[in-house]
Structure 1
Amino acid sequence: MTAPVVLVPGLGLGPESYAPTLRHLEVGYQVITLPGYGEKAGSADDLHTETLAARLADQLDRPAVLVGHSAACQIVVEATLRRPGAVKALVLISPSGDLTASSWRTLAGRWARSALWDPPRLIPTLAKQYHRTGFGSMARAMEVARQYDLAAAAAKLTVPTVVVRSAHDRLAPALWTQQVADRTGGEAWTLPTGSHLPVLTNGRELAAFIQRAAGVYKTP
């Protein structure tokens, strides 16, 4: 039996960020946006990871595969800790959350080195999504996300977990993603192409991992 898939966009991104992946999915899915993650945050919105995770968990009405990208990985992990019975498996794509590299200066440098590998064709869609979410919302969400200890949270997980990154991703380097996978007792994979936005550049490959987690395929 396959499980439905619930996907949460990365910080600043919207539902369309998953379009290249969704084209290849052969299982039911839902994309859920949250303040800072596809939605503009209101002044009264609490953007703490735990609060956003509670909002996500409240929308899970049956066991699902949760998929998060970048800082959204923290939200899906926290949601799983809150409602483990509602989560069949996790797919963490390019996860952030390394407290040893969480200063604004370090994050900005890693982002710049990652962005060098992104094709220029992504600029229009990124600009549209970032504008919709709002740079103020993104900054507030990032300030909270960079203080969340993903490695510590991952060690508490009890569901099958797959961590996927791309070869040129400096925000989610190989040693970090392996550490996260090791904490979960899960798997870490590096795609041979792409950077921090594999949701936009490596959709077919990500879909294969998601479908395997959902019970569609037995191999990646």
Structure 2
Amino acid sequence: MLKSFKRLGQLLCLTSLTLMLIPTVSYAKEIPIYSVPTDEKVVALTFDISWGEHVALPVLDALALKFVDKATFFLSGPWSDKHPEVVQEIARRGYEIASHGWHHYNYSQYSDDWIREQVTKTEQTLEQIIGHKPSRLIRTPNGDYNTRVVRTLRNMGYEVIQWDTDSLDWKKPGVEQVAARVLERVHPGDIILMHASDSCPDTPEALLTILEALQMEGYRFVTVSELLKYQK
């Protein structure tokens, strides 16, 4: 009996020593870009589009009416495939086109290979429509991510873009509320989230108010790619 306990103790010691010798890998948390620290009064307007065809063009017209020629559109693959003429119009007007992925699922629930397939398929679709590769920027569906997702996308050469100011236009709170929410929160280096999908009918009119107010405050509008160059 005593020998058995002694033998068990030796095994436990060996097991503990073995575990101590196994190298552990510690990954630093990786997060997307929400804004850029700068004192310059620059902001990036961003618009997600995943369905519908009635809001996108009025959003473009609102930008044109206020002479804003810099904004970034995050487009989903299926929507782009269904509405290539709208995608081409966005590109023709000189706005930045970026990826919003293919299926509108939470990436953190899927494998790295699945993520790569989604992003590659969207990239190929957009390239076929506009005649050149889109910007290497992506906003994941629902803004969902974890460290693994961000690392996978960055290893593909993409920068992951979130937002610091959310208009919440998708909640349909009304034009005044959408505009007020943005104007109360905007700051230099901000990335502003809006939508140009049909689920957000308040966006075009609210956008006019936002653009006029920010222009009066001395803000300039840049694409997300341009904003990233302001990082200190």
TM above 0.5, yes or no, is no
Higher RCO (C-alpha under 8 Å, 6+ residues apart): 2
Structure 1 length-normalised TM: 0.32
Q: Which structure's CA Rg is the greater one?
A: 2
Structure 2 length-normalised TM: 0.31
